[in-house]
Amino acid sequence: MASAVLKVNQSKIQEMQQYYSNYLQTKVPQGGIFTAKPPSCSVTAYKSGKVLFQGKDAEIEAKKWGETIPSKAKSSSIKSIDGYAPPEHIASMSIIGSDEVGTGDYFGPMTVVAAFVSKDQLLELRSLGVKDSKNLKDNQICEIAKSIIPVIPHSLLILHNDKYNEMQKKGMSQGKMKALLHNQAINHLIKKVKNVMDVEGVLIDQFVVPDIYYKHIQSSPKDWKGKTFFSTKAEGVHMSVAAASIIARYAFVKEFDKLSDKAGFELQKGAGAKVDQIAAKLIRTKGEEALKHFTKLHFANTEKAKKLV
């Protein structure tokens, strides 16, 4: 999406708010003064003096008010507007990290883990082999998970497909389910951590922009009152996310194996063509009804499998 950023003073922001008064929105992001949606684009002014224009005519609309910040500087200024980017020294801080697994797999549940890694444990975790799980095989992940589970305070949530499909059918997006589960896992973990004062921040492996994340969880309790950071590829940003990711993957693999046992044959991870074939086999042996227990029904695999039968 096209965007443009301006830096203006507070009286200019007031003037803009007046100008867009017919288009003001009730929801304003954290740190924001107003959000307006005139026909051409959306406009959000922040207390910092930054004004963000988004939409196809963002640049034109922004230029009505002054010179926009050039695009290279823009991306970093958007980050600072948001204020959700992790600080540079985060790797050495005591952090709760959260991550999820299974969202792209047709078979098997979605698992979400929040894990607390204090700065005293960073070296220990490294020696146990904790690193970005994308570079690890499932059997390595399971070994590492078993060794860190007893030493890392964590909270694991498993969303089985019966429930997943029920929520999806009611119109809930996968993004919202993730947000609710991340928040819930963090809430649970806050209650488990002996000294919450030790927690210097929460880092979420970003799956959606922070504003949308907070919109999803707006009517949920939030037990964490401190700083929350968002980062994509957060497994590489702090050990706690790497640990959360490993535990979540381990839980997913265990549940997946249980499902294979129930099916009577080995299921397939992912959502590719092989998955369609296995799903077709499942329909033939257990009936179409069984899919809602084993699979994420709204995936395109469902229709493809039915065609194969």
- Angstrom CA distances, 135 to 71, 132, 235, 242, 245, stand at 34, 6, 11, 11, 12
Considering only residues 40 through 99, tell me which ones interact with Mg ion, judged by CB under 5 A. Answer: 99
The nearest distance, CB 43 to Mg ion, in angstroms, is 31
Question: Measured between alpha carbons, how far is residue 31 from residues 68, 80, 206 in Å?
Answer: 20, 11, 19
CB nearer to Mg ion: pick between 61 and 99: 99
Burial label, 50 (beta-carbon count in 10 A; 0-12, 13-18, 19+): buried
Specify the residue, 105 or 205, whose C-beta has the smaller distance to Mg ion.
205
- The residues that bridge with 6 in the sheet, in sequence order, are 51
By C-alpha distance, which of 306, 298, 303 is closest to 110? 298
**Residue 168 and residue 161: Cα distance in Å, rounded?**
10
* Gap between the Cα atoms of 281 and 267, Å rounded: 10
The nearest distance, CB 159 to Mg ion, in angstroms, is: 15
How many residues of this chain interact with Mg ion, rule: CB under 5 A? 2
Minimum CB separation from Mg ion for residue 3, in Å?
Answer: 25
Closest residue to Mg ion, judged by C-beta, is 205
Q: Is 105 in the site for Mg ion (CB under 5 A)?
A: no
Binding positions for Mg ion, 195-224, rule CB under 5 A: 205
Distance in Å, CB of 185 to Mg ion, minimum: 13
- Taking the complex as a whole, the smallest distance from the CB of residue 103 to Mg ion amounts, in Å, to 8
Q: What is d(CA 149, CA 17) in angstroms, rounded to the nearest whole number?
A: 51
Interface map 251-290 toward Mg ion (x if CB under 5 A): ----------------------------------------
> Residues interacting with Mg ion, by CB under 5 A?
99, 205
